[in-house]
Amino acid sequence: MPELPEALAQSPAVTALSRALDAGRLPHGILLAGEDLASLRTVAVALASRLLESDAPEAHPDFHELRPSNKMRRIGIDDTRDLIREIQISSFAGRKVGVITEADRMAAEATNAFLKTLEEPPAGTTLLLLTTKPNAILDTIRSRCLLFKVPSAGVGEDPALSAIEGWLDGFAEWHAGLKLAAGEKPDATRVSHWFLGVYGLVATFETTLEAIAEAAWKKVKGTLPESIEEEQLVALETSVQKNLRGRFFAGLAERLRLAARAKPGDDASRRLATALAEVERYAGLLEVNLSDAAAMESLMLRLLVIETARE
Protein backbone atom coordinates (compact mmCIF):
# COMPACT_ATOMS: atom_id res chain seq x y z
CA MET A 1 0.00 0.00 0.00
CA PRO A 2 1.35 3.54 -0.78
CA GLU A 3 2.89 5.53 2.04
CA LEU A 4 0.30 6.84 4.50
CA PRO A 5 0.46 9.19 7.50
CA GLU A 6 1.86 7.30 10.48
CA ALA A 7 -1.45 7.34 12.39
CA LEU A 8 -3.05 5.46 9.50
CA ALA A 9 -0.15 3.26 8.42
CA GLN A 10 0.19 1.70 11.89
CA SER A 11 -3.53 1.25 12.51
CA PRO A 12 -4.98 -2.28 12.80
CA ALA A 13 -7.40 -1.53 9.96
CA VAL A 14 -4.70 -0.62 7.44
CA THR A 15 -2.50 -3.49 8.56
CA ALA A 16 -5.33 -5.96 8.03
CA LEU A 17 -6.23 -4.49 4.65
CA SER A 18 -2.59 -4.59 3.50
CA ARG A 19 -2.27 -8.24 4.47
CA ALA A 20 -5.52 -9.09 2.71
CA LEU A 21 -4.27 -7.35 -0.43
CA ASP A 22 -0.97 -9.20 -0.31
CA ALA A 23 -2.76 -12.52 0.15
CA GLY A 24 -5.29 -11.80 -2.61
CA ARG A 25 -8.15 -12.04 -0.13
CA LEU A 26 -9.47 -8.49 -0.09
CA PRO A 27 -13.28 -8.60 0.32
CA HIS A 28 -15.35 -7.03 -2.45
CA GLY A 29 -17.38 -4.94 0.01
CA ILE A 30 -15.47 -2.84 2.56
CA LEU A 31 -16.96 -0.36 5.04
CA LEU A 32 -14.40 2.18 6.24
CA ALA A 33 -15.69 3.99 9.34
CA GLY A 34 -14.11 6.73 11.46
CA GLU A 35 -14.48 10.26 12.77
CA ASP A 36 -12.52 11.91 9.97
CA LEU A 37 -13.83 11.62 6.42
CA ALA A 38 -10.51 12.86 5.03
CA SER A 39 -8.66 9.97 6.70
CA LEU A 40 -11.20 7.48 5.36
CA ARG A 41 -10.70 8.85 1.88
CA THR A 42 -6.91 8.72 2.24
CA VAL A 43 -7.13 4.99 2.99
CA ALA A 44 -9.64 4.42 0.17
CA VAL A 45 -7.42 6.18 -2.37
CA ALA A 46 -4.40 4.20 -1.17
CA LEU A 47 -6.31 0.96 -1.61
CA ALA A 48 -7.44 2.05 -5.07
CA SER A 49 -3.84 2.90 -5.95
CA ARG A 50 -2.76 -0.65 -5.12
CA LEU A 51 -5.74 -2.30 -6.81
CA LEU A 52 -5.49 -0.25 -10.01
CA GLU A 53 -1.67 -0.07 -9.97
CA SER A 54 -1.88 3.68 -10.43
CA ASP A 55 -0.17 6.61 -8.71
CA ALA A 56 -3.23 8.75 -9.50
CA PRO A 57 -6.16 6.38 -8.96
CA GLU A 58 -8.77 9.14 -8.84
CA ALA A 59 -7.95 9.91 -12.47
CA HIS A 60 -8.00 6.25 -13.50
CA PRO A 61 -10.86 5.19 -15.81
CA ASP A 62 -11.66 2.24 -13.52
CA PHE A 63 -12.06 4.44 -10.44
CA HIS A 64 -15.70 5.43 -9.85
CA GLU A 65 -17.07 7.57 -7.06
CA LEU A 66 -20.48 8.31 -5.61
CA ARG A 67 -21.16 11.08 -3.11
CA PRO A 68 -24.01 13.32 -1.90
CA SER A 69 -24.79 15.86 -4.62
CA ASN A 70 -28.05 17.70 -3.96
CA LYS A 71 -29.56 20.24 -1.59
CA MET A 72 -30.64 17.52 0.83
CA ARG A 73 -27.13 16.04 0.76
CA ARG A 74 -28.51 12.66 -0.21
CA ILE A 75 -27.13 10.08 -2.61
CA GLY A 76 -30.01 9.65 -5.01
CA ILE A 77 -31.25 6.82 -7.16
CA ASP A 78 -30.11 8.32 -10.49
CA ASP A 79 -26.50 8.79 -9.38
CA THR A 80 -26.50 5.31 -7.85
CA ARG A 81 -27.71 3.76 -11.09
CA ASP A 82 -24.97 5.65 -12.95
CA LEU A 83 -22.36 4.11 -10.64
CA ILE A 84 -23.84 0.64 -11.12
CA ARG A 85 -23.71 1.05 -14.92
CA GLU A 86 -20.09 2.25 -14.76
CA ILE A 87 -18.86 -0.72 -12.77
CA GLN A 88 -20.76 -3.14 -15.01
CA ILE A 89 -18.71 -1.96 -17.99
CA SER A 90 -15.60 -3.97 -18.77
CA SER A 91 -12.55 -2.60 -17.01
CA PHE A 92 -9.43 -1.21 -18.67
CA ALA A 93 -6.97 -3.07 -16.45
CA GLY A 94 -8.94 -6.01 -15.08
CA ARG A 95 -9.96 -4.34 -11.82
CA LYS A 96 -12.49 -1.68 -10.83
CA VAL A 97 -12.92 0.35 -7.67
CA GLY A 98 -16.13 2.05 -6.56
CA VAL A 99 -15.97 4.55 -3.68
CA ILE A 100 -19.19 5.64 -1.97
CA THR A 101 -18.33 8.70 0.10
CA GLU A 102 -20.68 9.34 3.04
CA ALA A 103 -22.52 6.10 2.40
CA ASP A 104 -24.85 6.95 5.29
CA ARG A 105 -26.38 9.63 3.04
CA MET A 106 -27.69 7.05 0.58
CA ALA A 107 -31.47 7.36 0.15
CA ALA A 108 -33.65 4.27 0.66
CA GLU A 109 -34.38 3.96 -3.07
CA ALA A 110 -30.67 4.18 -3.86
CA THR A 111 -29.85 1.61 -1.18
CA ASN A 112 -32.29 -0.89 -2.67
CA ALA A 113 -30.82 -0.38 -6.15
CA PHE A 114 -27.29 -0.82 -4.81
CA LEU A 115 -27.88 -3.98 -2.76
CA LYS A 116 -27.73 -6.49 -5.61
CA THR A 117 -24.47 -4.98 -6.92
CA LEU A 118 -23.01 -5.12 -3.42
CA GLU A 119 -24.07 -8.76 -3.08
CA GLU A 120 -22.78 -9.84 -6.49
CA PRO A 121 -20.39 -7.24 -7.95
CA PRO A 122 -18.72 -7.85 -11.32
CA ALA A 123 -15.50 -9.84 -11.13
CA GLY A 124 -12.51 -7.79 -10.04
CA THR A 125 -14.65 -5.07 -8.44
CA THR A 126 -13.98 -3.66 -4.97
CA LEU A 127 -16.58 -1.40 -3.38
CA LEU A 128 -15.39 0.95 -0.61
CA LEU A 129 -18.07 2.61 1.52
CA LEU A 130 -16.90 5.56 3.64
CA THR A 131 -18.83 6.86 6.62
CA THR A 132 -18.44 8.83 9.83
CA LYS A 133 -21.85 7.49 10.93
CA PRO A 134 -21.77 3.69 10.57
CA ASN A 135 -24.88 3.25 12.73
CA ALA A 136 -26.86 5.32 10.22
CA ILE A 137 -26.21 2.78 7.48
CA LEU A 138 -28.94 0.19 6.98
CA ASP A 139 -28.22 -3.31 8.30
CA THR A 140 -28.79 -4.70 4.80
CA ILE A 141 -25.73 -2.75 3.64
CA ARG A 142 -23.56 -3.26 6.71
CA SER A 143 -24.14 -7.02 6.73
CA ARG A 144 -22.71 -7.30 3.22
CA CYS A 145 -19.45 -5.50 4.03
CA LEU A 146 -16.48 -6.06 6.28
CA LEU A 147 -16.13 -3.15 8.71
CA PHE A 148 -12.74 -1.51 9.32
CA LYS A 149 -12.42 1.33 11.85
CA VAL A 150 -9.96 3.97 10.64
CA PRO A 151 -8.33 6.48 13.04
CA SER A 152 -7.84 10.15 12.26
CA ALA A 153 -4.61 10.83 10.37
CA GLY A 154 -1.81 13.12 11.39
CA VAL A 155 -0.39 15.78 9.10
CA GLY A 156 2.18 13.42 7.58
CA GLU A 157 4.28 14.62 4.65
CA ASP A 158 1.38 15.74 2.44
CA PRO A 159 1.78 19.49 1.73
CA ALA A 160 -1.98 19.85 1.30
CA LEU A 161 -2.65 18.25 4.68
CA SER A 162 0.00 20.46 6.25
CA ALA A 163 -1.58 23.59 4.78
CA ILE A 164 -5.06 22.55 5.92
CA GLU A 165 -3.77 21.68 9.38
CA GLY A 166 -2.14 25.10 9.63
CA TRP A 167 -5.44 26.79 8.80
CA LEU A 168 -7.24 24.61 11.34
CA ASP A 169 -4.73 25.67 14.00
CA GLY A 170 -5.70 29.28 13.30
CA PHE A 171 -9.37 28.40 13.52
CA ALA A 172 -8.84 26.57 16.82
CA GLU A 173 -7.10 29.61 18.33
CA TRP A 174 -9.94 31.92 17.26
CA HIS A 175 -12.58 29.44 18.45
CA ALA A 176 -10.89 29.05 21.85
CA GLY A 177 -11.29 32.79 22.36
CA LEU A 178 -15.00 32.46 21.70
CA LYS A 179 -15.39 29.60 24.17
CA LEU A 180 -13.61 31.53 26.91
CA ALA A 181 -16.15 34.33 26.50
CA ALA A 182 -19.20 32.08 26.13
CA GLY A 183 -22.18 33.59 27.93
CA GLU A 184 -20.40 36.85 28.80
CA LYS A 185 -21.45 40.29 27.65
CA PRO A 186 -18.66 41.24 25.21
CA ASP A 187 -17.20 44.73 24.87
CA ALA A 188 -16.70 46.51 21.54
CA THR A 189 -12.99 45.67 21.34
CA ARG A 190 -13.59 41.97 21.81
CA VAL A 191 -16.39 41.88 19.24
CA SER A 192 -14.20 43.71 16.74
CA HIS A 193 -11.43 41.18 17.32
CA TRP A 194 -13.85 38.30 16.72
CA PHE A 195 -15.09 39.72 13.45
CA LEU A 196 -11.59 40.49 12.23
CA GLY A 197 -10.76 36.88 13.01
CA VAL A 198 -13.68 35.69 10.88
CA TYR A 199 -12.58 37.60 7.81
CA GLY A 200 -8.96 36.65 8.32
CA LEU A 201 -9.91 32.98 8.43
CA VAL A 202 -12.09 33.32 5.35
CA ALA A 203 -9.33 35.04 3.37
CA THR A 204 -6.70 32.45 4.31
CA PHE A 205 -9.15 29.60 3.64
CA GLU A 206 -9.76 30.90 0.13
CA THR A 207 -6.11 31.44 -0.73
CA THR A 208 -4.99 28.16 0.88
CA LEU A 209 -7.66 26.13 -0.92
CA GLU A 210 -6.81 27.78 -4.24
CA ALA A 211 -3.09 27.09 -3.83
CA ILE A 212 -3.34 23.44 -2.76
CA ALA A 213 -6.06 22.69 -5.33
CA GLU A 214 -3.90 24.13 -8.12
CA ALA A 215 -0.91 22.06 -7.00
CA ALA A 216 -2.98 18.88 -6.61
CA TRP A 217 -4.66 19.32 -9.99
CA LYS A 218 -1.32 19.91 -11.71
CA LYS A 219 -0.08 16.61 -10.28
CA VAL A 220 -3.21 14.70 -11.34
CA LYS A 221 -3.40 16.30 -14.79
CA GLY A 222 0.15 15.24 -15.54
CA THR A 223 -0.90 11.61 -15.28
CA LEU A 224 -3.88 11.85 -17.66
CA PRO A 225 -3.88 10.72 -21.29
CA GLU A 226 -3.89 13.43 -23.95
CA SER A 227 -7.09 12.02 -25.43
CA ILE A 228 -9.21 12.79 -22.37
CA GLU A 229 -12.21 15.01 -23.16
CA GLU A 230 -12.55 18.57 -21.90
CA GLU A 231 -15.73 17.77 -19.97
CA GLN A 232 -13.94 14.97 -18.16
CA LEU A 233 -11.06 17.29 -17.33
CA VAL A 234 -13.44 19.82 -15.84
CA ALA A 235 -15.18 17.11 -13.81
CA LEU A 236 -11.87 15.74 -12.53
CA GLU A 237 -10.56 19.17 -11.58
CA THR A 238 -13.80 19.88 -9.72
CA SER A 239 -13.46 16.55 -7.92
CA VAL A 240 -9.93 17.41 -6.78
CA GLN A 241 -11.09 20.73 -5.33
CA LYS A 242 -14.14 19.17 -3.67
CA ASN A 243 -11.95 16.55 -2.03
CA LEU A 244 -9.62 19.18 -0.58
CA ARG A 245 -12.52 21.39 0.46
CA GLY A 246 -14.07 18.41 2.23
CA ARG A 247 -10.90 18.02 4.26
CA PHE A 248 -11.30 21.54 5.61
CA PHE A 249 -14.84 20.81 6.75
CA ALA A 250 -13.95 17.40 8.20
CA GLY A 251 -11.10 19.07 10.10
CA LEU A 252 -13.43 21.77 11.39
CA ALA A 253 -15.78 19.16 12.78
CA GLU A 254 -12.91 17.34 14.47
CA ARG A 255 -11.56 20.55 16.06
CA LEU A 256 -15.02 21.40 17.37
CA ARG A 257 -15.28 17.95 18.95
CA LEU A 258 -11.86 18.33 20.57
CA ALA A 259 -12.83 21.71 21.99
CA ALA A 260 -16.03 20.27 23.45
CA ARG A 261 -14.15 17.37 25.06
CA ALA A 262 -11.74 19.81 26.71
CA LYS A 263 -14.64 21.48 28.54
CA PRO A 264 -17.41 18.86 28.91
CA GLY A 265 -20.91 19.59 30.12
CA ASP A 266 -24.48 19.90 28.94
CA ASP A 267 -23.91 23.37 27.52
CA ALA A 268 -20.79 22.25 25.63
CA SER A 269 -22.67 19.26 24.20
CA ARG A 270 -25.55 21.44 23.06
CA ARG A 271 -23.28 23.99 21.43
CA LEU A 272 -21.27 21.21 19.76
CA ALA A 273 -24.37 19.58 18.29
CA THR A 274 -25.55 22.92 16.91
CA ALA A 275 -22.10 23.76 15.53
CA LEU A 276 -21.66 20.35 13.85
CA ALA A 277 -25.08 20.70 12.24
CA GLU A 278 -23.97 24.05 10.80
CA VAL A 279 -20.73 22.56 9.47
CA GLU A 280 -22.72 19.81 7.78
CA ARG A 281 -25.26 22.29 6.41
CA TYR A 282 -22.69 24.60 4.83
CA ALA A 283 -20.69 21.68 3.44
CA GLY A 284 -23.94 20.62 1.77
CA LEU A 285 -24.61 24.11 0.42
CA LEU A 286 -21.24 24.00 -1.33
CA GLU A 287 -22.57 21.09 -3.34
CA VAL A 288 -25.26 23.37 -4.81
CA ASN A 289 -22.80 26.00 -6.04
CA LEU A 290 -22.56 28.37 -3.08
CA SER A 291 -19.10 29.92 -3.36
CA ASP A 292 -16.34 28.61 -1.10
CA ALA A 293 -15.64 31.98 0.52
CA ALA A 294 -19.34 32.80 1.04
CA ALA A 295 -19.99 29.42 2.67
CA MET A 296 -17.00 29.70 4.99
CA GLU A 297 -17.84 33.29 5.94
CA SER A 298 -21.44 32.36 6.79
CA LEU A 299 -20.29 29.32 8.74
CA MET A 300 -17.74 31.28 10.79
CA LEU A 301 -20.35 33.89 11.65
CA ARG A 302 -22.78 31.17 12.72
CA LEU A 303 -20.12 29.58 14.94
CA LEU A 304 -19.42 32.99 16.46
CA VAL A 305 -23.09 33.34 17.37
CA ILE A 306 -23.35 29.78 18.70
CA GLU A 307 -20.36 30.09 21.03
CA THR A 308 -21.07 33.60 22.35
CA ALA A 309 -24.84 33.40 22.75
CA ARG A 310 -25.91 34.00 26.32
CA GLU A 311 -28.30 31.60 28.03
pLDDT in tens, 219-240: 777 767 677 777 777 777 887 8
- Stretch among 39-48, 56-65, 90-99, 246-255 having the lowest mean pLDDT: 90-99
Asked whether residue 72 falls in the same domain as residue 29, the answer is yes
Asked whether residue 164 falls in the same domain as residue 300, the answer is yes
Asked whether residue 91 falls in the same domain as residue 123, the answer is yes
Asked whether residue 120 falls in the same domain as residue 235, the answer is no
Q: Report the share of the chain in percent with pLDDT over 70.
A: 90
Asked whether residue 128 falls in the same domain as residue 180, the answer is no
Asked whether residue 121 falls in the same domain as residue 254, the answer is no
Residue 130: predicted pLDDT: 94
Distance separating alpha carbons of residues 230 and 155, to the nearest angstrom: 33
Asked whether residue 141 falls in the same domain as residue 15, the answer is yes
Asked whether residue 127 falls in the same domain as residue 166, the answer is no
**127 has pLDDT over 90:** yes
- pLDDT per residue as tens digits for the range 177-224: 776 655 566 667 778 888 888 998 999 998 999 888 888 888 777 767
The answer to whether residue 154 is domain-embedded is no
Asked whether residue 98 falls in the same domain as residue 70, the answer is yes
Q: What is the mean pLDDT of the chain?
A: 83
The answer to whether residue 192 is domain-embedded is yes
Residue 236: predicted pLDDT: 73
Asked whether residue 17 falls in the same domain as residue 143, the answer is yes
**97 has pLDDT over 90:** yes
Asked whether residue 46 falls in the same domain as residue 138, the answer is yes
- Residue 155 banded pLDDT, cuts 50, 70, 90: very low
